[in-house]
Chains A and B, each alone.
Chain A
Amino acid sequence: MAKKLHDTPNLDQLEDGPWPSFVTGLKDLAKDKDYVVDLLGQLEESYKTKKGYWKGGTVGVFGYGGGVIPRFTELKNADGTPKFKDAAEFHTLRIMPPPGMHYDTATLRQFCDIWEKHGSGLIAFHGQSGDIMFQGATTENVQKSFDEINEMGFDLGGAGPAVRTSMSCVGAARCEQSCYDEAQAHRAVLNTFLDDIHRPSLPYKFKFKFSGCPNDCMNSIQRSDMAVIGTWRDNIRTDEALAKKWFAKHGMDELVNDVVARCPTKTFQLKEIKNVKKSDSISSVAVSDTHAVEIDNRDCVRCMHCINVMTGALAPGKDKGASILVGGKSHLKIGGLLGTVIIPFMKLDTEEDVEKLVDFAQRTIDFFAENALEHERTGEMIERIGLANFLEAMEIEADPAMVNSPRMNPYVRTDGWDAEVAKINAKKQAA
């Protein structure tokens, strides 16, 4: 039995309503833990005053420099003692999840037992970087709980100027749109940088995210310094049985308005079967006895829309791989940046293919570590030095797939033009 709950008139109002309540969960924990009684006390105070009362500090586990988010209370009595003494330390352990965030119940129950014993009993699945967040332990118990979680085969994630914990979508495990083995790539890349995850020493954070197709369920273009997004080079695959089934259910209006009209490059056409073109780059499938869809794959940008709507009837091709975009980030400091295409396509079928991705990641991080200013993200660094300089350092040829358009101003010194053309021509001839 824990001590009596503090009055929490504000938090109490978050126990009503149909959505599951974290307040009810905290109160449940508070039955046995003075720790959570006082956590609720401090949180209620925040609700009253609209102020936060946690400050950071330095807490870690032996051998690592990051991965624990320290929190000490700033809510003090006049004599400097904590107002809610039992929750004066409330640190979080960031733990890296398995790719795709899959678990068996035995593992989850073991997490619960460890965290009930050493921590607050509050776990978030998952934080915005993808970590399992074990929220709330005293400084003394951080090491104890980490030791037990680590013995289960789980490791601390990143915090501060480090390679951060990554996320990958459900992917090949359960999604027909998956274009590479996300889990394999995720582990191969991240586990190369364990030193940079556990011992923060980069200019700033570096995030990888892995999405199996251009639907980008991991928001990787917006949120990661390096986005690995599945795609394919050959023709969209078709299945006539499923196409006819789709059409029978949805009809002509939906086919025209929801699919044909929404193709961003208008390469998706509806035709009478007798008029369908035949060529190496055409995918076509009959939807009825009279009509078929025709897609010229050379004009397809792999946006996924038609495949999303007519899943199974249409599917990504077989020559699969990934596009790599670099430099996505949120506002601070120069404003939000979306990732930029750096590698339009790379195969990720074999271990050797994945090694090439790891190598590119390694060279990018090495360059970032050497050249970024303090607290500068990769995208900001590229903005400062120009994409062409980054490409040169990465030994990657310029490719029109990297730009929305060529430059719109003459402010560039071009006296190396002939040499560049000669290089490109020499390469063409050698090929």
Chain B
Amino acid sequence: MNQAVQAAAPAAKRKPKETGVPDNKKYLHPLMVKNYGNWKYHDRPRPGVLHHVAHSGDEIWSVRAGTQRQMDVHTIRLLCDIADNFAEGRVRFTIRSNIEFMVSEEKKVAPLIAELGKHGFPVGGTGNSVTMIAHTQGWLHCDIPGTDASGVVKALMDELHEEFIREEMPNRVHLSTSCCEINCGGQADLAIIVQHTKPPVINHDLVANVCERPTVVARCPVAAIRPAMVNGKPSLEIDESKCMCCGACYPPCPPMQINDPENSKLAIWVGGKNSNARGKPTFMKMVASGLPNNAPRWPEVAEVVKRILTVYKEDARPWERLADWIDRIGWPRFFEKTGLPFTKYLIDDWRGSRANLNSSTHIRF
């Protein structure tokens, strides 16, 4: 229990109503309540629009638009005005921070799309499009960020906007970014993640006062950290030959600064798939690293992302997710087609890594 609770407040303080997760029924569009659990099928009349048909014969149209996720109240009120005046007052958000407006009549779809367009909200993100990037907090709010999140997403979505508003990819493309290796952005077809390249720089004056040393020692995945006396003060030291620069020690011990303006790089990962469709779910794999953390628009990252997506778009067959496509063409061809260098750092040497090695003569020439 933290100090806020221990510092028991005067009796006048309001006790929380421990209500938990609220019921969603009162927020649902009335047609969703009526046909709850009784939908029959859906189609997509155009990118950004889902048309669901219930067993009852009822129909509902959902118009999906991209947002900046980190929204000011004026933007949210504008979206509410659009929902009240051009839709039916009910909205929902997708896991990738797109907003959906539900309407019961087809004739409302076009004016709703026009209004969203007028205010600069891109309509799309459905089906085989590149959808909005799942992202983290970055410099705006995180305590351990190697880079920004909202800014990276804004810069990249400007570049990928055309693929968001169209459905021209082989299958859906989910993207994520993470501002440290913890990867709060999560698994995706293509992810951009900070990759540190130097061990943490320790401020030995602060460690004893700020860090619970045994916790920090225990946190290291490769047991590279040990307690030590430095300049007469209890501190920690790192076996730099063991350290793989993951930054796991930094959250419990901020004096072990892992972020480095020059040496914290960005890596690109591909082939994560959450769905069980076709193959089993997969984790993504690192295919590029060493890209500079070049705010405010990260052009080098955008170039690699677009290069991979361009090759995928040209080469993959319908319904192949990025992982499915690479399964078919093989990794050598992936690196050949994208022109990305396959370095020794891409050969897995973590526990379980033998399963990632090719123990066969299945080799494409």
A residues touching B (Cβ–Cβ < 8 Å)?
Answer: 10-11, 13-14, 16-23, 25-26, 28-29, 43, 46-47, 49-56, 58-66, 69, 71, 90, 92, 96-109, 111-112, 115-116, 121-128, 135-136, 143, 146-147, 150-151, 153-156, 166-167, 169-170, 172-176, 178, 181, 183, 186-187, 190-191, 194, 197-201, 214-223, 229, 239, 242, 254, 257-258, 262, 264, 301-305, 308-309, 311-313, 315, 330-336, 338, 374-375
Contacts and interface: CB of A to CB of B under 8 A. Distances in A.
A150 B51 CA distance: 35
B21 A166 contact: yes
Interface residues of B, number: 122
Nearest to B41: A312
Contacts of B293: 50
26 contacts: A13-B296, A20-B68, A47-B296, A52-B139, A52-B144, A55-B143, A55-B254, A66-B2, A71-B143, A98-B24, A102-B24, A125-B69, A146-B16, A175-B52, A176-B52, A181-B36, A219-B274, A222-B274, A223-B187, A312-B41, A312-B42, A330-B186, A332-B246, A332-B248, A338-B281, A374-B215
Contact of A215 (B99, B142, B275): B275
A169 B95 CA distance: 8
B164 to A, nearest CB: 8
B24 A52 contact: no
Contact of A13 (B37, B67, B279, B297): B297
Contacts of B274: 216-222
Nearest to A217: B95
Given A19-B66, A99-B24, A105-B80, A331 B41 contact: no
B60 interface: yes
B344 interface: no
B75 interface: yes
A304 B27 contact: no
Contacts of A17: 154-155, 158, 161
B73 A116 contact: yes
A47 B295 contact: yes
Given A10-B295, A375-B218, A50 B261 contact: yes
A101 B22 CA distance: 10
A142 to B, nearest CB: 9
B95 A331 contact: no
Interface string B10-30: 000111111111111111110
Contacts of B77: 109, 112
B24 A183 contact: yes
Contacts of B290: none
Contacts of A331: 181-183, 246
A331 B178 CA distance: 13
A305 B22 contact: no
Contacts of B254: 55
